[in-house]
Amino acid sequence: MGTCDEAPPTTFFRHEPKGGQCKMRLFIARQPVFDGENMHAAYEIVHGIVRTEWNGEEPPELEHPGDRLLSETLTKHLDTLTAGTPALIEISSRTLFSGAIEKLPPDQIIFSVRGDQHFSEGLLEEITKLDSIGYRLSIQAPGSLQIDPRVLELVDLVEVDLLSTPPEILETRLPALRSERVRFLVRNVDRSDAHAMCRKLGFDYFSGYFYSRPEAIVQQELTVKQLAIIRLLSRLRDVNRSLAELDTAFKAEPSLSERLLRFANSAVFGTGRIETTGRAIQFLGRERLHRWLALLLVTSISDRGGPGSEVVLTLLTRARLSESLARVSRRRSADDLLFLTGLFSLFDTIVARPFDELIDELALGGLIERALLEREGPLAPLLRLVEAYEVGDWDTAIGIARAEGVEVGIIPELYLEAVSWARERLEDPDL
């Protein structure tokens, strides 16, 4: 593949076999899984070993270091990724035999194996051992839904890919797979009609693009408080608005004024307490105030554990990751703009307002609007990188990263930091 940028020291395992230079990183992300009531039930952990440099003979068992890498990374970062909810993790048969995964907590892990492989007696013994330890097991059904009955007796979950399984197979084969133990997860649910069909067929869990679409989410009419925040966002962007006018606008919203003072005083270090909104506005400045209000707006919209709540977490993660990537790319001066670009990239899915109308009221600026509405302009590449990374499209993410001057090896750590930051801000946006 040629050479790549030298990555800084990282908590992610780096493998360099003899006979050549081979640098590998574990790329890892998560996707939410929902139950039949559209409540968040688990996270699917998307992962892959990415070879960032190789110039030598192809080594045997090139991906073998990934077993140790996956185990070490999940041991350290599982709570960051899942916040205590179950984690669905695909593992290879080689990983099963390695024993590296047995350090992970059984009560939080569902191991997923491919159903189109040959299940030798040795492999069945390993699966049986994991079952006896207390791990839950899942099998990825082939499009034919033909599953080795010996494996079916050991698994708790059957995963079905809607894109590769014809409807007639679903209707005829799914009932034959049912048992008291087995539950069913359907992947790649992208449309409302597909979701309705899968519910009718009796699937228990669902994942796919559908859950970031407006029809899957109980869209909320903007409250009086949220509309007030939008008006303040617009006024902050208006250079003709004086400090006195901004002060008056904040004072008209007592609850926001109180939060503003609390936020401003949290940032004061030994300079005396801030007692007035006018002083708080002056101390924080327009740009920092705009960012804080934007966070307040997004975090105030949630459906308490449903798809909307996960979209808000995604928006916060995108905002932080976009900002962090900007700071290590050739877009360093646009970190604030990229933060807002990520923060509002799915905003239209959670509010019952046309996005082109909302975007004018938010007064985000031409570069952000172009990136959000057209996915074009100087801010668009890093947003596309973030979108590709979160769904496990590593090739696209790496290609954009290199074009934008981002060192590929640091992306996973920036992502995990962004996930942690997002959950903290959802709990307390005044931080």
Over pLDDT 90: what percentage of the chain?
61
Of 244-253, 304-313, 373-382, the range with the lowest mean pLDDT is 304-313
pLDDT band at 280 (very low <50, low <70, confident <90, very high): very high
d(CA 74, CA 108): 11
Q: Which of 346, 386, 340 is nearest to 367 (CA)?
A: 340
Correct CATH for 22-214 of 3.30.497.10, 3.20.20.450, 3.90.420.10, 3.20.20.140: 3.20.20.450
Which residues of the chain are in CATH 1.10.3210.10 domains?
A: 224-427
Condensed to tens digits (0 to 9), the pLDDT of residues 110-161 reads 999 999 999 999 999 999 999 999 999 999 999 999 999 999 999 999 999 9
- Rounded to the nearest angstrom, the gap between the alpha carbon of residue 113 and the centroid of all alpha carbons in its chain is 22
Average pLDDT, the chain: 86
Strand partners, 117: none
pLDDT for res 100? 82
Q: Hey, which of 66-70, 230-234, 325-329 has the most confident mean pLDDT? A: 325-329
pLDDT for res 13? 40
Q: Which parts of 252-365 fold into alpha helices (H)?
A: 254-266, 277-284, 286-299, 307-327, 335-343, 355-362
d(CA 350, CA 265): 31
CATH topology of domain 224-427: Hypothetical protein af1432 (1.10.3210)
Torsion of CA 231, 233, 234, 238, to 10 degrees: 130
**266 compared with 272, residue with greater pLDDT:** 266
Tokens at residue 226, please?
Answer: 């949220």
Torsion of CA 421, 426, 430, 431, to 10 degrees: -20
pLDDT at 41 over 90: yes
Over pLDDT 70: what percentage of the chain?
87
Strand partners, 159: 140, 185
pLDDT for res 420? 96
pLDDT for res 63? 44
Which residues of the chain are in CATH 3.20.20.450 domains?
A: 22-214
d(CA 27, CA 88): 16
Q: Are 182 and 155 in contact (CB under 8 A)?
A: yes
Condensed to tens digits (0 to 9), the pLDDT of residues 188-247 reads 999 989 999 999 999 999 999 888 876 667 666 778 888 899 999 989 888 889 999 999
pLDDT at 54 over 70: no
d(CA 418, CA 317): 5
pLDDT for res 18? 47
Task: Report, as an integer, the average pLDDT of 407-415.
Answer: 95
pLDDT at 305 over 70: no
pLDDT for res 69? 81
In 150-285, beta strands by DSSP E: 157-161, 183-187, 205-206
pLDDT for res 431? 59
